Amino acid sequence: ISRSGAPAKERTDSSRAGKTPIPSLGEALGQIPTGIGSDLSEGYKANPFYFDPSLRDHVKLTVTPSNTGCGEGGKQLIKPFYINSAKGDAKTFQWCDDGTCHLSLEMGGDTLHNDVGFLKLRGCPLHEGYTVPYLRVMKVLLASYDKLHIGWGACSEAETSCEVGPDVSMSPGECKTLTHPSKPSMKYDVCYDGPGVY
């Protein structure tokens, strides 16, 4: 109360002492280090639960063909190869030099033509010309916990003598042998290495 009897005016502190100034948006953005985007990205990828979504479009499979009677383990007198016959592009053809085809297959349902075949002597091991049996992976789908579902068929003479096998489910790290439904001598050891590309 002032001596005049009038109420005293409150004093306001116009100084900035003890207060953090609020930066403008431009000032705030200017304080962000230029490399933070890559830092955050790398930190995010280091998270064990992170998986690059672009890699979930493919799965990694190895396929090792064999034919009973064609050398030791049915693998000596055959020459495996891979081709994506749906694309009709010879550039997708590759020999599998170590006897095993390492494949990164695109996801898709019932319309794929991923062929893992092999040249073999007709009447193997007798030389009566060549045949080209193959496994065709026609469906590649992923379910929960990266479980793989594949639909497949097998042909013993190029596009003839083809039969569809039962759909197969596999977990990462699992291997299964797919056998031609009516030609048990023709087998394909398929191993699923998980989502992604090699």
The full DSSP string for 110-135 is: S---EEEEEEEETTTTS-S-EE--EE
Query: For the chain, how many helices (H) and strands (E)?
Result: 2, 12
pTM of the model: 0.67
Q: Is 70 exceeded by the pLDDT of residue 179?
A: yes
Radius of gyration of the chain (CA): 32
Beta bridge partners of 154: 135, 163
Measured CA angle at 169 (ends 174, 188), to 5 deg: 65
Q: What is the pLDDT of residues 52-78, one digit of tens each?
A: 555 568 899 999 999 887 777 777 778
| Amino acid 50: pLDDT | 47
At 193, give phi and psi (nearest 5°): -100, 10
Q: Is 90 exceeded by the pLDDT of residue 9?
A: no
Q: What is the pLDDT of residues 77-116, one digit of tens each?
A: 788 999 988 777 778 899 998 899 999 988 887 678 889 9
Confidence of residue 3 (pLDDT cuts 50, 70, 90): low
